[in-house]
Structure formats: structure tokens, C-alpha cells
Structure 1
Amino acid sequence: MKVLLLGNSSLARRRVLPALARLGVRDIDVASVSRSADVALPPGAAGRCYDDYRAALARSDAALVYVSTINSTHEELAERALQRGFHVVVDKPACLSAEASRRLVRLARKQGRCLAEATVYGYHPLYREVRRIFGDTGRSPTRLTATFSFPPLPADNYRYRAALGGGSLLDLGPYAVTLGRLFFASAAPESIACRVVERAGEVESSFSVLMTFPGGRSMVGHYGMTTGYQNRLEVLGPDVVVTIDRAFSPPADQPIQLGVSERNHRRTVDVSTADSFAEFFRSVFEAIARGEHEEFARDLLADAILLDELRRAAL
């Protein structure tokens, strides 16, 4: 499947293009308004480079568009791509509001096209392994404890600009709102408590959240752009605890080791090397080939609604 990449972002260069190459995608067009001269396709790949997004959408013969631009432009570019008949994948957050996400989902359904948000960490096989560990014990997770925080970014980074869709709630909130879908069978939270911990000028730079779910389950998380690097998830249940390092951005070139404590007996479980972006794209391509991609739109909209609720709860 030929892909048109809108935006030559760091994420696109580091993770998206290598993942497409792993899947054997060789036809890739790239549009970049600021870094068109720096476009470097993977070895063996070929395609056109554009310095204008509209021109790329008008001229490219790709089947799927991947939007990897600043957050505030996602909605407009995804809408244009859908209107022109492309399947569309958008970096998280797909839109800046649930209402915008509803509009895009309606358009995708009308056009009969796939619309997916690239919150990809849950596609790594480590998450299947965690669920298997709990399943083998006859238990289910009841508590989730997450930390995803990193040092401050350069002052000119768009994440410090509210008008560009910056702030930790939009940037890191998608990792918080997807955990219930992964471990609590898509149950909606019964309550959300969120506190902004620090601010950086016009945006919030860190927040903490507590969500409670039906059946006495809960999730607590700390997210931000203000601390030493931490990327960790603990999944707890009766008699079982699984600890995951690099939980939200598993490396594509290294195996993952899970720490498992079962009735106070500790062991490790190795998960083979995998690329979460490649696994995500594989799922998207297969769904498109089957003509069965509604699940992606449904997840995008559910996550957008919950992200809106998280932002409204923030104090």
C-alpha cells in the first residue's frame, strides 16, 4: 500500500518511516513545509517529495495518508485527506476536541474510509503477554499505576504553545485515557480527578490523574514534561503484579523484560523484540484490505471523548 506522509517530524523519521520499511512498504510520498530538503526515505523506498500539503493531497496517488504535523493542524489535514478519498492515520491527539473527532469520524464513515489515531503502544506484544499472565492465574487487573514524564523540551517546541495544541494534557493525556480500554474491557471510568501540577507559560506542563472504573478498579497516573525520564506501568491484581519499563514507547530494536510478582514469588518474562508502530500499521493495512476498519474510528472517538473529560476535570 502506498503511503503519503504529511510532515517530516522527528517521530516520522525515527519511528514511522522505519516501521513502514519493516512491513515492506516501498512507495512513500512525503510532504513537508519546513523540512522538505531533509527528507530521507528508507533504503529501497521511492516516492515524490512535496513542500505543500494541499499539493501533495491533490497529486499523490497514495492509498493512505499519515498526518504527522503539529497538533493544531491535524483536523484540517485529516479532513482534506478524507474528502479526497484517502484512508487516514493521525498522530495522537487526532483532534483538539471530541466534537472535531466526531466530525471526522462521520466523514470517514460517509466516505467508507479508515480513520485511525496512532496511539500505538498497546499494539506491542508485551500487552498481550501481560493479559496472558493474568489469564493464566485466573485473575484480572484491578489497579494501574503509570508514570510517563521527561525533562523539559526546548523553549521553542510547539508543545509550549496553546494555539498549536500544546500542553501535557493533549500531548500525554492519550496515554492516560487508553489504559482502561487495554485492561478494563473498554469500560468507561465512573469518575475522573485530575490536577495540573505545574505550568510552563500558557500551557500545563505536568498533571496527575485518578480514574475509578466499575468493579472496584482504578488507574492513577503522573505525566509531564518536567522531570527526569520515567516511562513505567504497573499492572496489579489479586496476587499478581506486572511491572513494565518503557511501557508507552517500547523500543523497536530491543526485547522487553516484564517483572512479575505472583504471591510474592518474583520472576521475569522476556518479550521478543517488536515494533509497535509496525504492528499498528499491520493491523490498519489488514483492516483496510478486509474492508472492516470501524474499530479504529470507534476507538479514536471513545478516546477523544475521554480526553475531553480529562481536560475538563483538570484543576
Structure 2
Amino acid sequence: MRVLILGNSSIAQKRMIPALEMIPAIDGIEVASRSSSGTTYADYKTAIEASSAELVYVSLANSDHAYWARRALESGKHVIVDKPAVLNAEDAEALAELSCERGLCLAEATAYAAHPQIQKIAQLFAAAQCRPTRINAMFSFPPLPLDNFRYRRANGGGAIYDLGPYAVSPGRLFFGAEPIDVQCRVLSTGGEDGVPTAFSVMLEYPEGRSLVGNFGFDTAYCNRLSIFGSDLGIDVDRVFTTPENFANELRVSAPTGNSIEPVPAHDCFKLFVMDVMTKIESQDLDGLRADLLADARAIDSLRAAAERD
């Protein structure tokens, strides 16, 4: 399978391209960029029309994701979109409908979910015959350079769009449900457009489950997830952006005592793409669309709640 990358973004350079190069079934990688020299194409439209790639990875400014994902789907190519895949649930529904009509993949690159540490957490809860009921999450880092597109409203900037996927996806992963009540408060704003640079959330899920969290780009670095049930608690750091060469660990609290569960190093981007390729081959694509739609709806609810506050 050949892959066309739209946008020579930092995440494409640091994580996606190295991951693709490690997958034997990937026999070609092309990059289209309007701002970087030395890429295969200098224009996205030309790239989509001229490339023989079967799979397109869209990694542009947030506001450009839906348009170019649609163009790629219309050209008959499978699509992975960097997060946030879209800026509203309406666009998500339109893209999902198109991909379903064409029998094509539409997936959001929530790559951290493919790391074995996520499956390991679920396995530990299952082994303890305990279900997760509470999640505490924090993903925050220092301010970005002021010319970063994340400070520009027209480019889909702001922390709710950029970090919203990390706020809503843990509930989908560990509770298997969408939130039934959403509270979101903007804690700080920045840049010339005054976009949200930090926010807190409280998400309620069916059967009394909940997630609380803080997200933003206005603090020292913190990347942590804590998951609790009646008889088990698990803490993990660097969960959302675990480096491919980093052996992580799960800190486990149980009635019998505390322990450390090691997690070997894995490249979650490689594992994510390999999973997508397997599902393309088997035409098992509904789950990928459903995950994208669920997170888009939840982020819409975050924005609406923040505007009400």
C-alpha cells in the first residue's frame, strides 16, 4: 500500500513517517506540502489527483482537515485524519456518510489508543473483576510560539479543538460509551484571537461513571491518566504521547497492595496504521467511523458547554 501525506507537519515528520517506514506492507510514501521544499508535491489538489496512493493521511491546520479529507475520499482513497478530524459533528457525519457510500476507510489518528498499555489497563480491570468508574486525566504543556496556528481561530485553533480528543476519548475507550452530561470551563485564553488555551471538564457517563480533567498549553508539562474502580486504581504517565522507544509502567493500587506493571516500548503510530490497514483489507470499517463520530459529537458538547459557562 502506498501512502500520501497531506501536510509536512511536525507530527508527520516525527511520528507518522518513521512509523510508516517500519511497516513492510507500505511500499511508498509521498508528501505534499505548500510550505516545505523537497516534498513530492507542492499542491494538495495535484497530489490527490496525481498520486497512486491508496491511503491519504491528512495532517494540516485543523480547519483544513474536513475539506481535504472529503477531496481524498471523492478521489477513491482511504483516509486517516489527524486529530481533531473535524471542527464539528456535522462535518463528521458528512464524511462518514461519504466514506460508507464509497466503501472507504475514514479514521481519526487517535494513535495513543493503539498502544498495548491501553489494552493492558483493560486486562487488569477484567482480571480483577472490577470495572472502571472514574477517570482523572491531565494533558498540559508550556505555551507554544505565538505564530503557531493553534492560536488562530480561523485555523481551528484553541485548546478545546486541539486537546479535546484527549479529553473525550478515554471515556469511549474505558467506559465504552458517550457522555450523557458535559461540563466544560475555559481557564485561560491567549494569542491575538483570544482562543482558549486551557480548559477543565467533567463528563458524566451512564451508570454513574465520570471523567474529570484539565487540558491546555499554559502550564509545565503533565501527561497523565488515572483510572479507578471499586477495588483497583491504575496510574500511567506519558500516556497520550508515549515515545516509540519508551518502556512505560502502570502503577497499580489494589486491596492486596501496590505494584508496578511494566509495559515494553511500542510505536503506537505503527500499531495504529497496521490496524487500519488490516481493517481496510477486511472491510471492517464501521468501528473506525463510529469512533470518529463519537468523539466529534463529544467535542461539540465541550464547545457548547464552554460557551454556556
Q: What TM-score do you get using the length of structure 1 for normalisation?
A: 0.95
Measured against aligned partners, the alpha-carbon deviations of 1:94-150 in whole angstroms (never above 9, x if no partner) come to 111110111111111111110101011111000111111111111011100000000
Give 2:173's aligned amino acid: L
Structure 2 residue corresponding to 1:207, chosen from 190, 199, 207: 199
Local SS of the residue matching 2:284: coil
Aligned to 1:6: 6
Q: C-alpha separation between the residues in 1 aligned to 2:290 and 2:208?
A: 25
Aligned to 2:89: 98
Give 1:27's aligned amino acid: G
Aligned to 1:68: 59
Local SS of the residue matching 1:296: helix
Give 2:165's aligned amino acid: P
Q: C-alpha separation between the residues in 2 aligned to 1:239 and 1:298?
A: 31
Give 2:21's aligned amino acid: A
1:169 aligns with 2:142: no
Is the Cα–Cα contact under 8 Å of residues 65 and 89 in structure 1 kept in the other structure?
yes
Measured against aligned partners, the alpha-carbon deviations of 1:173-228 in whole angstroms (never above 9, x if no partner) come to 0111111111002x222211110000004200000000111111110000000000
Q: C-alpha separation between the residues in 2 aligned to 1:117 and 1:137?
A: 31
1:23 aligns with 2:13: no
Aligned to 2:139: 148
1:218 aligns with 2:210: yes
Q: C-alpha separation between the residues in 2 aligned to 1:214 and 1:112?
A: 32
Q: C-alpha separation between the residues in 1 aligned to 2:259 and 2:294?
A: 36
Give 2:125's aligned amino acid: F
1:292 aligns with 2:284: yes
Where in structure 2 are the equivalents of 1:187-206 lying within 5 Å?
187-201=177-191, 202=193, 203-206=195-198
Q: C-alpha separation between the residues in 1 aligned to 2:101 and 2:151?
A: 35
Is the Cα–Cα contact under 8 Å of residues 36 and 50 in structure 1 kept in the other structure?
no
Q: C-alpha separation between the residues in 1 aligned to 2:37 and 2:119?
A: 38
Q: What displacement does 1:247 show?
A: 1.0
1:50 aligns with 2:41: yes
Q: C-alpha separation between the residues in 2 aligned to 1:151 and 1:167?
A: 14
Q: C-alpha separation between the residues in 2 aligned to 1:246 and 1:299?
A: 22
Q: C-alpha separation between the residues in 1 aligned to 2:143 and 2:86?
A: 24
Q: What displacement does 1:264 show?
A: 6.4
Is the Cα–Cα contact under 8 Å of residues 189 and 213 in structure 1 kept in the other structure?
yes
Identity percentage over the alignment? Answer: 46
Is the Cα–Cα contact under 8 Å of residues 210 and 221 in structure 1 kept in the other structure?
yes
Q: Which runs of 4+ in 1 moved over 6 A?
A: none
Contiguous gaps of at least 5 residues in structure 1:
40-48
Aligned to 1:44: none
Is the Cα–Cα contact under 8 Å of residues 143 and 237 in structure 1 kept in the other structure?
yes
Aligned residues: 304
Q: C-alpha separation between the residues in 2 aligned to 1:310 and 1:73?
A: 21
1:313 aligns with 2:284: no
Local SS of the residue matching 1:259: strand
Give 2:32's aligned amino acid: A
Q: C-alpha separation between the residues in 2 aligned to 1:193 and 1:172?
A: 15
Q: C-alpha separation between the residues in 1 aligned to 2:217 and 2:296?
A: 21
Q: C-alpha separation between the residues in 2 aligned to 1:213 and 1:107?
A: 30
Q: C-alpha separation between the residues in 1 aligned to 2:77 and 2:14?
A: 24
Q: C-alpha separation between the residues in 1 aligned to 2:256 and 2:132?
A: 16
Q: CA RMSD in A?
A: 1.0
Give 2:221's aligned amino acid: Y
Aligned to 2:233: 241
Local SS of the residue matching 2:85: coil
Q: C-alpha separation between the residues in 1 aligned to 2:133 and 2:22?
A: 36
Is the Cα–Cα contact under 8 Å of residues 72 and 163 in structure 1 kept in the other structure?
yes
Give 2:231's aligned amino acid: D
Deviates more, 1:303-312 or 1:149-158: 303-312
Structure 2 residue corresponding to 1:256, chosen from 219, 232, 248: 248
Contiguous gaps of at least 5 residues in structure 2:
none
Give 1:28's aligned amino acid: I
